[in-house]
Amino acid sequence: MLDFKKEIAELLSKELPDLYLEEIKEMIEVPQDSKMGDYAFPCFKLAKTLRKAPPIIAGEIAEKIKGSDLFEKVEQVNAYVNMFVSKEKLGKDTLSAIIEGGEKYGTSELGKDRTVIVEYSSPNIAKPFHIGHIRSTVIGNSLYKIYQALGFDMVRINHLGDYGTQFGKMICAYRRWGNKEDVEKEPIKTLLDYYTKFHVEAEKDPTLEDEAREIFAKLERGEPEEVELWQWFRDESLKEFSKVYDMLGIEFDSYAGESFYSDKMPRHEKELEDSGLMQESQGAKIVDLEEEGLGVALIKKSDGSSIYITRDIAAAIYRKETYDFYKNIYVVASQQSLHFQQLFTILRKMGYEECADGCVHVPFGLVRLEEGTMSTRHGRVVFLEDVLNKAVEKTREIIAEKNPGAENIDEIAAQVGIGAVVFNELSNNRIKDYTFKWDTVLNFDGETGPYVQYTHARCCSLLKRAGEDVSSKAEALGKSGDVDFNYLSGDAAHELIKLLYTYPDVIVQAAERYEPSLITRHIIDIAQEFNRFYHDEHIITENEDEKTAKIALVLATRNVLRNGLALLGVASPERM
């Protein structure tokens, strides 16, 4: 596809021999207001070297480049050269790239032969998969798809929280108050009740904490009774988590969780010991990171039991040795930022610089409930499965009301209801805290998933209404760049084409910034611009050439909306 910015930079560089091409390219702007052109070049910086006033320079440049067939019009406005690209050139190139590319439009080979790990979801065994985990799951899944689209080799890891002192508490509680049938009937809710009860009772009787610690130590030593209970909790929990993953269409390549590293820690504890990084402090083992302003990291408790960060040290090194990753991305709440800073610093100090260089913590903000912050200990949680089921149920009601005879209502309600939750999640800038409100999630108007899905379905229905002959002609002529662009020169069509044209760049930016919401935003813009085009123009007209040109644009829009939704992990039904 034609790279307009680069073409323009090359044109300008002929007039500005003192500047590097890259420098010129960086100076080119995209004006907020399209009345100022599609691209603009500011001349302030040139005044010094050229010893002329910026508006004069802008005027001279405008004069020299305006003959190029890249442009429809070039104007000097104050210190700027404002460039209006040839609508035909842009349209031809964009439509043909999109129609030719199909599902591949927007993808590239940027990441060829490099491996990226995305670690996401990572819920804790025997604890609910709550709405707080949806952020990690959904953001991680989207980052996986985004990086994959850029040609990286991908590894998806679910770093299950299947180890740690909480299992001592859980086993302790189960033995005291538990009952096998209840656990089998409703594993996670039941185990959560025990866990909550443990904390209530331990406040009255602190010796319970000691008992739990003792049980965990036995588990670490591999005592069969403890291991058996732990394994049972893990299996039952995974069954529950899988229900949610199936609903969301999410998969993992590895479920190597914390327990996987239990036998890999001694090697690194020895390295820490030998290098003198690890110190004794009140019977425990620590690494002092005060100099780095990161406090002290506890590596081993005084009773000899291992710690979260120690398992993470082993995990990072294991991943480097196993996958030789280019990036190892952790999608984990911002509450754990200090933990990851400590982790990466310790890896560096241990001499694993290359490993540390590739590690990235992608943090995200907290989810609050309207009643306050979520807390597993106090049993104040919203279960993700309930959220998804409720969203599907509500969607079914809306469809049944709007369109009583709708076919496949179950399938569509699932795609739209779950899509609404996922899209909502990815609409927020990830770092911001937000409050989970049913009304916003299930709002089907405005800047939501259902709105984009509906626009996609509208494109599909236009393609059908235009008929097989026109649609295939539009496809063929769109591909070869031979539709009549005079019919696509209106404002809405031109703005829409510009958005479709920049879509591949948005994918790259989303990857660089680990921010799927850039894609969400971009496809909302496309949907809005398309709907403006739909309302401004008569698409299914009598004039065959006009209809063909417009249908080619509808086809291109449909492709990009579908591809964009797929990168978010949202389905695009053809009818709603």
Please report, as ranges, the residues that interact with ligand ARG according to CB under 6 A: 119, 122-124, 159, 161, 312, 330, 332
**Minimum CB–partner distance for residue 159 and ligand ARG (Å):** 4
**Minimum CB–partner distance for residue 324 and ligand ARG (Å):** 19
The closest alpha carbon to 532, from 458, 435, 449, 429, belongs to 458
Strand 372-373 versus strand 359-362 pairing type = unpaired
**Minimum CB–partner distance for residue 320 and ligand ARG (Å):** 14
Please tell me the distance from the alpha carbon of residue 118 to that of residue 136, in angstroms, as a whole number.
11
Length of the chain: 576
Residue 124 or 342: the one with the smaller Cβ distance to ligand ARG is: 124
Instruction: Yes or no: say if 102 and 555 are a contact pair by the CB < 8 Å rule.
Output: no
Instruction: Yes or no: say if 426 and 138 are a contact pair by the CB < 8 Å rule.
Output: yes
32 exposure class (CB count in 10 Å sphere: 0-12, 13-18, 19+): exposed
**Minimum CB–partner distance for residue 122 and ligand ARG (Å):** 4
Please count the other Cβ atoms lying within 10 Å of the Cβ belonging to residue 287.
20
**Minimum CB–partner distance for residue 155 and ligand ARG (Å):** 14
Q: Phi then psi for 52, rounded to 5 degrees?
A: -140, 160
Instruction: Yes or no: say if 498 and 119 are a contact pair by the CB < 8 Å rule.
Output: no
Q: How far is CA 204 from CA 172, 173, 190, 199, 216, in A?
A: 16, 14, 22, 9, 21
Name the closest residue to ligand ARG (Cβ).
161
Positions marked active-site: 127, 130, 133
Eight-state DSSP code of residue 521? H
Eight-state DSSP code of residue 383? B
Instruction: Yes or no: say if 181 and 137 are a contact pair by the CB < 8 Å rule.
Output: no
Residue 124 or 448: the one with the smaller Cβ distance to ligand ARG is: 124
**Minimum CB–partner distance for residue 127 and ligand ARG (Å):** 8
Residue 239 or 575: the one with the smaller Cβ distance to ligand ARG is: 239
Residue 126 or 332: the one with the smaller Cβ distance to ligand ARG is: 332
Provide CB contacts within 8 A for 528, sequence distance 6+. Answer: none
Instruction: Yes or no: say if 237 and 243 are a contact pair by the CB < 8 Å rule.
Output: no
**Minimum CB–partner distance for residue 133 and ligand ARG (Å):** 7
Please tell me the distance from the alpha carbon of residue 576 to that of residue 251, in angstroms, as a whole number.
26
Residue 159 or 394: the one with the smaller Cβ distance to ligand ARG is: 159
Tokens in use for 294? Answer: 């990161």
Helix (H, G, I), strand (E, B) or coil at 115: strand
**Minimum CB–partner distance for residue 511 and ligand ARG (Å):** 21
Q: Determine the residue type at 558.
A: R
Please tell me the distance from the alpha carbon of residue 512 to that of residue 147, in angstroms, as a whole number.
10
The closest alpha carbon to 164, from 252, 224, 234, 117, belongs to 234
Helix (H, G, I), strand (E, B) or coil at 300: strand
Report the DSSP beta bridge partners of residue 278: 287
**Minimum CB–partner distance for residue 336 and ligand ARG (Å):** 7
Provide CB contacts within 8 A for 214, sequence distance 6+. Answer: 168
**Minimum CB–partner distance for residue 377 and ligand ARG (Å):** 13
301 exposure class (CB count in 10 Å sphere: 0-12, 13-18, 19+): middle
The closest alpha carbon to 365, from 135, 160, 137, belongs to 135
In the chain, % helix, strand, coil (3-state, to 5) comes to: 60, 10, 25
Helix (H, G, I), strand (E, B) or coil at 306: strand
Tokens in use for 296? Answer: 């002290």
Q: How far is CA 502 from CA 5, 265, 312, 419, 505, in A?
A: 11, 47, 39, 24, 5
Report the DSSP beta bridge partners of residue 161: 124
**Minimum CB–partner distance for residue 232 and ligand ARG (Å):** 19
Provide CB contacts within 8 A for 387, sequence distance 6+. Answer: 131, 134, 421, 441
